Structure formats: C-alpha cells, structure tokens
C-alpha cells in the first residue's frame, strides 16, 4: 500500500537547505569543531492511521503522529491536522528513528581501501587525543544506505585496536559537506575503550605492552592516574592554588570522562572482563555508559541492570574469536528480562541498514524459551535504549512530544523480513522517500553507479 499524499508541498522541502553556518563564539569567529548541523526544511506533517510504536514501550493501533516545527507535537488517535500536511499512513508502522550506537561509517568508508582506513590510530595503546570526527568522510555511501534503513542518528567510534582509542562522535544522518554539518547538536562525545584480545594481540605481537589482559588493565589504570592528576592540576589553577598544566589533548579527553562530560563506550566481549572494567571505573570514579560487542552480557544481566550500564550486542555474531565463542541469539532478550538496558548495534555498514531484522532474530530465538518480546518492546533496543546509551534521550529516541521529530514509516511490521522503510523524517523533514527518486540521496562517490537507480538502498 502506497502513501496517498493529501497535502501539498512535501516534495520541495530539501531545496535550499544545508547552509554551512557555524555557531559563533563571543568574538564573532566560528567555534572550532562545533556542530553546524541545520535540519532540512520541513512542513508540519500529520501521519494518519498507522500502527505506532512509541519507543516508550507503547503500541498504538490506528494512531496519528503530528510533527510541527521539527518536533513531535502529538501522538494519538484522531489528531486534528490543522494546517499540517496530512499523509495517509494506514497499513504502515511508525517508529522513532533508528539509532546505531556503534558504527565506523566515514572512518572505514566504502570502498574499503587502505586509503580509507581512518578508524584505528594504532601507534600507541592509549590515544585518547584522537577524535573520530576528524576522520569521518561524509561521502561514505554507507550513510545514505543507512538512511534508507531508517537510521537517523549514529555514533561513529574509533576502532578497537587500542586500550583507549579516542573520542566518538554522534551524528544526525544527514550527510553534509563536512562532518560538522552532521554533528548532533548537544550530544556528548563518547570515549572508545577496548578490552581483551584486540589491544593485547596487536601490541603484544609487536613485543610491546599490553601483551596480556593484565597489561590491558595496567594500561587503563596508568592512563586514569595521569588523567586524575591533570584534572586536579587544572582545578588547582582555577582556584588560584597552583599552576595550570600544559594543555594535553589526551588528558583533556580523559579528564572529560572523569568530569562526566564524555561517555565511556567500552568494547568488551567477556562477562568477567566487563565486571572487571566496572572495578576500574569504580577505582577512578567514572561511569561506563555502554559495553559494546557484549557477547556474554547475558551472563551478568543482573550486574549490568544494577549498575545501570547498557549492553550493545549483535543478534548472532559469534565464534570468530575466542572471546566471542559464547555468543547466543537470546542475549538481548535475557538482558531485557533482567531490566538491563539492551541495545542492538551494527559495527557494520550492511548490518546498520537492517537493525530491525537483527532485533527480530532475537525475538524469534527468545520465543523458543517463552520469552515473548512484543514489537513495542523490541523497538526500544534500536531507538530509546540506544539514545540513552549516547546521552541523547532527552532529544530523541522516542515519539514523546517536544522531542526531535526523527521518525520512520515502515510498510509493515518492522520485524518482518519483507518490510521496507517507506519514509524517514529527521527533525520533521522528509529526508528519504523510497518511492521518490528525488528523495533518495546519493553520495558523490556513487554518482554514475547503479546507486542512481537504487543500488545503495
């Protein structure tokens, strides 16, 4: 069933958008590295008569979603369109925009050639000074492909070769001319940390520390000791009781974590290692937002719930290395049952396009052991809980009034393999419409390829 456009003017929205305007500092100069994201132009829109999964755990049948001024204005039955453009969404399902907390789009861009390898600064085991956003290529064709999969916000992380790999950045999935045009306004930075095999095998293989898991933990602790000193020296300077330290990019980032401004995203497969990382966090007084690739999270679901730490997992990646050998499909469902914050992530430019399908596989597996996960609950794994993980739940992640109108319209139940994304709204603006070639964005790289006729979809 196709959309019937009742109102007018929907198709001209994108013209004239994307002016490159940076927020200015007090002296009038643009602030360096500040978000210059500006939503695409939008009109007030009423999506009518759909099955709505709100992201708050509710399912509303035959409901409407009203978007106004780029925000969710109201969700419910029989809403009055007023001056809004009405869109018949009967037969459709509506969800919050999909959020991927773990992507390397832009830093490991397609095509995956050596020249595009910008995600792992493996020159030393702690590189907290690097920022993923300084390696993101906005022309990665993966961004628009992810948009066609309903993805509206993405965290781009450095890779996992290092103990501490650098800052991650959260983007609105509206590719611009540079990464600052995509930067999610107000989203905190992430800090990528990595447990286990990757750092110790890379550096150990070169005869350097860390060579063992012991070395891994010693490496984190040494970094946090330095960071705590740096933070204390800065505080003393501000109090006038000491001299300000020389500015240090690495320690600035780590101190940002200790101050609670930067969220820790910790690649960690094994249950015992996650538990140990909670000890490291306690020792230095920081919080871990999310364990990523938490293949064994189901073994400590209670612990994760108690500590209010999210676990971002795949549906069924397992076995490719020792620390992934105990992966099971029910992982997210067992976390969910324990009241922990379960997130499905991709870490993959193909997987990001169908996070809904990954969630569906978990639902199917869980049902075999009588863990029934209804759609209104599973959708939270790729919307609300992901927003919580990234510290952007106040702004997006659910369809609550006042939040950014990041909305996906699906042509059926999003947990069916046959369902496709019909439309994607980002900040209330129609950014993707499957049936309208004008609203199928194409990266520079893909010009002249089959992407034009629908390849990158």
Partner 1 sequence: MKRLYLHLMVCSVLFSPQVAIAESTIYRGATVHTLGPAGTLENATVVVRDGRFAAVGADVELPSAAGSGSSEDRVIDASGKIITPGFFSAMGQLGLTEVSGVDGTVDYYQTGERFSASFDIAEAYNHRSTLIAVNRAGGITRALTAPAPSYWEAGASSQVFSGLAAVVQLGERPDFVAERQAAMVVSLGEAGSAVSGGSRAAAMLALRTGLDDAVDYRRNKGYYERGQRREYSLSMADLEALQPVLAGDTPLLAHVNRASDIEALLKLAAEYRVALIIYGGAEAWMVADALAAARVPVILDSKSNLPSTFDALNARLEAPAILVAAGVAISFGANWQNETYAARNIAQSAGNAVANGLPWMEGLKAITLSPARMYRVDDRYGSIEVGKEADLIVWSADPLELTSNPEQVMIRGELVSLQNRQTLLRDRYMQIDSALPPAWRR
Contact footprint for partner 1 (CB under 8 A) = 110-113, 141-142, 145, 197, 298-299, 301-302, 316-322, 325-330, 334, 338, 349-350, 353-354, 357, 360-361, 363-365, 367-369, 415-420, 445-446, 449-451, 453-457
Nearest CB to partner 1, comparing residues 66 and 107: 107
**Cα–Cα distance measured from residue 331 to residue 334, given in angstroms and rounded to the nearest whole number:** 5
Nearest CB to partner 1, comparing residues 349 and 406: 349
**Ramachandran angles phi, psi of 15, nearest 5°:** -65, 135
168 strand-pairing partners: 190
- Alpha-carbon Rg for the chain, nearest whole angstrom, is 22
**Residue 310 C-beta: closest distance to partner 1, Å:** 19
Nearest CB to partner 1, comparing residues 197 and 406: 197
**Residue 225 C-beta: closest distance to partner 1, Å:** 32
Nearest CB to partner 1, comparing residues 54 and 110: 110
**Residue 365 C-beta: closest distance to partner 1, Å:** 7
**Residue 151 C-beta: closest distance to partner 1, Å:** 14
| Helix (H) or strand (E) segment spanning residue 310 | strand 310-313
Are residues 33 and 180 in contact, defined by beta-carbon separation less than 8 angstroms?
yes
**Ramachandran angles phi, psi of 450, nearest 5°:** -65, -10
**Cα–Cα distance measured from residue 169 to residue 80, given in angstroms and rounded to the nearest whole number:** 38
Reading the block at residue 248, the tokens are: 């240090």
**Cα–Cα distance measured from residue 313 to residue 343, given in angstroms and rounded to the nearest whole number:** 6
103 strand-pairing partners: 156
Extended strands (E) in 284-356: 288-292, 310-313, 342-344
**Cα–Cα distance measured from residue 288 to residue 272, given in angstroms and rounded to the nearest whole number:** 15
**Residue 354 C-beta: closest distance to partner 1, Å:** 7
**Residue 201 C-beta: closest distance to partner 1, Å:** 9
Nearest CB to partner 1, comparing residues 141 and 256: 141
Nearest CB to partner 1, comparing residues 234 and 354: 354
**Cα–Cα distance measured from residue 187 to residue 312, given in angstroms and rounded to the nearest whole number:** 18
Nearest CB to partner 1, comparing residues 105 and 257: 105
* Residue 452 φ/ψ region, left for φ over 0, alpha for ψ in the -120 to 50 degree band, beta for the rest: alpha
421 strand-pairing partners: 410
| Helix (H) or strand (E) segment spanning residue 59 | strand 59-68
**Residue 274 C-beta: closest distance to partner 1, Å:** 14
**Cα–Cα distance measured from residue 2 to residue 417, given in angstroms and rounded to the nearest whole number:** 18
Nearest CB to partner 1, comparing residues 20 and 321: 321
**Residue 189 C-beta: closest distance to partner 1, Å:** 27
């Amino acid at each position: 069933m196709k959309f019937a456009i009742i109102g007018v003017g929907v198709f001209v929205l994108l013209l004239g958008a994307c002016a490159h305007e940076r927020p200015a500092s007090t002296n009038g100069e643009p602030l360096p590295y500040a978000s210059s994201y500006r939503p695409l132009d939008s009109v007030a829109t009423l999506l009518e008569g759909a099955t709505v999964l709100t992201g708050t755990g509710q399912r509303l049948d035959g409901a409407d979603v009203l978007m106004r001024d780029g925000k969710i204005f109201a969700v419910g039955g029989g809403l009055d369109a007023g001056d809004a453009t009405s869109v018949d969404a009967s037969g459709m399902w509506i969800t919050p925009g999909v959020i991927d907390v773990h992507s390397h789009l832009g830093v490991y861009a397609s095509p995956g050639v050596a020249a595009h390898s910008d995600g792992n600064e493996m020159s030393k085991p702690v590189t907290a000074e690097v920022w993923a956003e300084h390696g993101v290529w906005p022309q990665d064709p993966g961004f628009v492909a992810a948009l066609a999969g309903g993805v509206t916000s993405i965290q781009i992380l450095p890779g996992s070769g290092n103990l501490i790999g650098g800052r991650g950045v959260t983007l609105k999935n509206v590719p611009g001319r540079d990464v600052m045009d995509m930067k999610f306004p107000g989203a905190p930075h992430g800090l990528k940390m990595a447990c286990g095999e990757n750092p110790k095998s890379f550096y150990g293989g070169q005869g350097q520390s860390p060579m063992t898991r012991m070395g891994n933990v010693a490496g984190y602790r040494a970094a946090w000791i330095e960071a705590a000193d740096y933070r204390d020296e800065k505080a003393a300077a501000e109090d006038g009781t000491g001299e300000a330290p020389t500015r240090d990019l690495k320690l600035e980032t780590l101190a940002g974590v200790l101050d609670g401004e930067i969220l820790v995203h910790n690649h960690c497969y094994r249950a015992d290692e996650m538990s140990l990382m909670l000890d490291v966090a306690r020792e230095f007084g920081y919080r871990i937002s999310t364990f990523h690739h938490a293949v064994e999270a189901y073994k400590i679901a209670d612990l994760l719930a108690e500590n209010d730490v999210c676990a971002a997992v795949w549906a069924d990646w397992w076995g490719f290395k020792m620390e992934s050998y105990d992966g099971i499909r029910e992982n997210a469902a067992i976390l969910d049952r324990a009241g922990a914050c379960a997130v499905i992530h991709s870490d993959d430019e193909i997987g990001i396009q169908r996070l809904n399908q990954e969630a569906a596989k978990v639902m199917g597996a869980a049902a075999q052991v009588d863990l029934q996960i209804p759609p209104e609950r599973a959708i939270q794994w790729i919307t609300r809980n992901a927003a919580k993980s990234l510290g952007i739940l106040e702004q997006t992640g659910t369809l609550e009034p006042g939040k950014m109108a990041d909305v996906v319209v699906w042509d059926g139940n999003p947990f069916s393999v046959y369902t496709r994304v019909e439309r994607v709204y980002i900040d209330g603006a129609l950014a993707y419409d499957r049936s309208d070639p004008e609203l199928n964005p194409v990266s520079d790289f893909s010009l002249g390829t089959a992407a034009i006729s629908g390849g990158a979809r």
